[in-house]
Amino acid sequence: MQALGKHILVEFYGCNPEKLKDTRMLQTEFENAADMSGATVVDSTFHTFSPYGVSGVVVIAESHLTIHTWPEYGYAAVDLFTCGDTVDPWKAFSYLKSVLESNNTSTIEMKRGQLNDFEGQLRHKPACA
C-alpha cells in the first residue's frame, strides 16, 4: 500500500524538566532535528507558558514537527509528520530522545494518505512554494 507520508506520534517520558522549560533550546534543537532528518525548514514558532511548559512547531517543506511539554511531569508529546521519500522522521526521533534525555518512549507510526485505489507510482514531490 502506498502512502503520501509518515506520521510518528511520540510520548517522551522521564525527560530532563529543565530542558522541557527552555523554549529557545527546544526551538533550536527541533530545527536541528528537522535538518538531520533531511527536511527543509520553512519556519518555526515556539511559545512559553506560565508558569512553565512550551508548545512549538517547525514547519518543513515536507510537513511539520511539533512539541508540547509538561516539565512538571518530565513529559513531552511530539509529532513528526513527513511526506515523500527524502526525509527520515526516525532520525529526528533518535536525536530528540537524546536531547530531551528521555528514559522511556512510546511511539506509533501512521501511514498518511494511503491510496489503496491508486495504480502506478506516486508522483507527489513535496516542495515549498
State the pLDDT at residue 112.
87
Gap between the Cα atoms of 80 and 34, Å rounded: 9
What residues are labeled active site? 63, 68, 83
Higher pLDDT, 35 or 84: 35
DSSP-assigned beta bridge partners for residue 44: 58
* Cα(9)–Cα(18) distance, integer angstroms: 23
Which tens digit of pLDDT belongs to each residue from 71-112? 999 999 999 999 988 999 999 999 999 999 999 999 999 988
DSSP letter at 74? T
Which ranges constitute the DSSP H helices of the chain?
Answer: 17-21, 23-36, 89-100
Over the stretch 36-57, which tens digit does the pLDDT of each residue have? 999 999 999 999 999 999 999 9
**pLDDT at residue 127 in the model:** 47
* CATH 1.10.287.610 applies to domain 5-112: no
The torsion angle over the Cα atoms of residues 13, 17, 20 and 22, rounded to 10 degrees, is -160
